[in-house]
Amino acid sequence: MALTDFDLVLFGGGGDLSMRKLIPALYARDRAGDLPPTAQIICIGRHKWSNEEFVAELNENSKTHISEKTLTPALWEKFCARIRYVSLDATDAATYQPLNDVLRNDAGLTRVFYLATPPTLFSKICNNLSARGLATETSRVVLEKPLGRDLASAKQINLEVGQVFKESQIFRIDHYLGKEAVQNLLALRFGNVLFEPLWRREWISDVQITIAEEIGVGNRMGYYETSGALRDMLQNHLLQLLCIVAMEPPLSVTPDAVRDEKLKVLRSLKPFTAATLAKNIVRGQYRAGHIEGKAVPGYRQEKAANPDSNTETFVAIKAEIDTWRWAGVPFYLRSGKRMADQLAEIVVRFKPIPHSIFAQSTGSFQPNCLIIRLQPDEGLQLNLMAKTPGDGMRLKPVELELDFAETFKTPRMDAYERLLLDVLRGQLTLFMRSDELEAAWEWVEPVLRQWEQEGNEPLPYASGTWGPAAASALIGRDGLQWREEALPE
């Protein structure tokens, strides 16, 4: 579907997210021919840069995030011609006139305000847009995470942004929902009959969802100290993936049909009790160690770190979903920085065979397992048992592999590219609704409260490992292992 001509306003236009992700994603779509010739990208910042100076900033800090294979000087120049830099103080409506001047007053155009700013500015900016008559009936607003830091602040954001924009105009981003493999999980579940009859407690033993990063906190210490792994990854990315795995078939892929089902999952998460709070959560913080053979410092020794910080850089949680389909099936979620590998995957493990007709004992059969890989490469793996060739009947595990890049050979689209296109098309399916956001915060709230208590320190783990040993014990108590621990050496 071709895009209508648009004015896209990026608050935080000179910031990290804009430079690393948004501008490169927009360039990629421009290169693909998706952007209308006269579409404008209006970057807002406090610096008093001229347009030329801002483009020089882009050359320095954003162009470097575009793969050389796709970077053509002429295309980049054409793309930069769309950029309008506007210097204003986002908190002060009196400074907004240059934005009024540059926005085109044409009801047929799409107008999007993308707030890549701290959440404390969301309502202020929305109010200022409203005061300046810029937040029209048809304009859209995109909110970047973090969407609050607990239930109360998330509710406040929903309330205040909701006073300016209708729910149908609000796009709450979780970039994990824009990843190709997540979309493919929907295709796998609802485009095939094979899995649906098995997708339930009778056949599935457990589900593991891992987002592991080798990178540390980098130069984001200011933000990360106020966040930690639970707020940064679990409350949003991991829970959204869990929703896609666990939701009932939606009526269609229309926004509310999908979001209604995701909401039901979030509302069915078994609430924590004092006992499960103590038992089902592991919180860790990386110490010095080695990543790919290179020595790296611990979290407390990173640039601008608080040497006494208790912020967690790793979290593992055992969750349960109280529904007919999922009762009794554990969902293990974990995410950490400075881990042994850089990967994101969902592992659905099926139950063991009930009886062996072969000479081998049932224990020697590896249960079937479906692995949905999100990163680094996107793909599917299905583990089966098969006979080894030759005389006799010996079964051994084999893997059926589907590599999406190999299979489709079409260029992949980054999550931000897809989500930006959806915003510009007004397609809300991959964005969180206010009630979803609140339900996710509500579930993690008791964990946050418990961690605030004095003496609750994260467990240390060496950089380059899979997190604290307690994370293995968490799953080990149920007689299970994380996938990498179960793999042969």
Q: Does 232 bind ligand BG6 (CB under 6 A)?
A: yes
DSSP state for residue 238 in the 8-state scheme: I
| Residue 212 parent element (H or E) | strand 204-212
Nearest to 244 by CA among 168, 324, 180: 180
User: Residue 88 or residue 173: which is nearer to ligand BG6 going by CB?
Assistant: 173
Structure token digits, residue 225: 């100290």
User: Residue 39 or residue 229: which is nearer to ligand BG6 going by CB?
Assistant: 229
Task: Provide the terminal-to-terminal Cα distance of the chain, rounded to the nearest Å.
Answer: 49
**Residue 165: C-alpha distances to residues 179, 254, 345, 445, 453 (Å):** 27, 20, 35, 27, 37
Interaction mask 291-330, ligand BG6, x per CB under 6 A: ----------------------------------------
Interaction mask 163-182, ligand BG6, x per CB under 6 A: ------------x-------
Cβ 344 to ligand BG6 shortest distance, Å:
6
**Residue 171: C-alpha distances to residues 26, 166, 178, 424 (Å):** 17, 10, 13, 11
Interaction mask 398-427, ligand BG6, x per CB under 6 A: ------------------------------
Nearest to 484 by CA among 283, 319, 340, 357: 340
Phi, psi angle pair for 284, to nearest 5°: -135, 165
Q: Which of 47, 65, 175, 237 is catalytic?
A: 237
Chain residues 130-149 in contact with ligand BG6, contact rule CB under 6 A: 145
Cβ 19 to ligand BG6 shortest distance, Å:
15
> Could you give the CA distance from residue 261 to residue 246 in angstroms, rounded to a whole number?
9
Chain residues 353-392 in contact with ligand BG6, contact rule CB under 6 A: 375
Give me the residue label for tokens 């996710």. 440
> Could you give the CA distance from residue 58 to residue 354 in angstroms, rounded to a whole number?
60
User: Residue 175 or residue 283: which is nearer to ligand BG6 going by CB?
Assistant: 175
Q: Does 30 bind ligand BG6 (CB under 6 A)?
A: no
Among residues 213, 345, 378, 436, which is the contact residue for ligand BG6, using CB under 6 A?
A: 213
DSSP state for residue 269 in the 8-state scheme: B
User: Residue 310 or residue 375: which is nearer to ligand BG6 going by CB?
Assistant: 375
> What secondary structure does DSSP assign to 88-107, as a single string?
--TT-GGG-HHHHHHS---T
DSSP state for residue 176 in the 8-state scheme: G
Phi, psi angle pair for 67, to nearest 5°: -65, 140
Cβ 237 to ligand BG6 shortest distance, Å:
6
Cβ 122 to ligand BG6 shortest distance, Å:
17
> 292-321: b or e for each residue (b if 16 or more CB lie within 10 Å)?
eeeebbbbbebeebeeebbbbbbbbbbbbb
The residue count for binding ligand BG6 (CB under 6 A) is 6
Cβ 180 to ligand BG6 shortest distance, Å:
12
Cβ 89 to ligand BG6 shortest distance, Å:
26
Q: Does 345 bind ligand BG6 (CB under 6 A)?
A: no
Beta bridge partners of 40: 7
The pairs formed by 453-459 with CB atoms below 8 angstroms and a separation of 24 or more are 456/283, 456/310, 457/310, 458/283, 458/284, 458/285, 458/310, 458/311, 458/312, 458/313, 458/314, 459/282, 459/283, 459/284, 459/285
User: Residue 20 or residue 351: which is nearer to ligand BG6 going by CB?
Assistant: 20
**Annotation marks residue 65 as catalytic:** no
Cβ 156 to ligand BG6 shortest distance, Å:
21
> Could you give the CA distance from residue 166 to residue 39 in angstroms, rounded to a whole number?
24
User: Residue 356 or residue 375: which is nearer to ligand BG6 going by CB?
Assistant: 375
User: Residue 62 or residue 139: which is nearer to ligand BG6 going by CB?
Assistant: 62
User: Residue 216 or residue 298: which is nearer to ligand BG6 going by CB?
Assistant: 216
Cβ 173 to ligand BG6 shortest distance, Å:
9
Q: Which residue is nearest to ligand BG6 (CB)?
A: 232
Residues that are catalytic: 237
Q: Which residues would be at the binding site for ligand BG6 (CB under 6 A)?
A: 145, 175, 213, 232, 344, 375
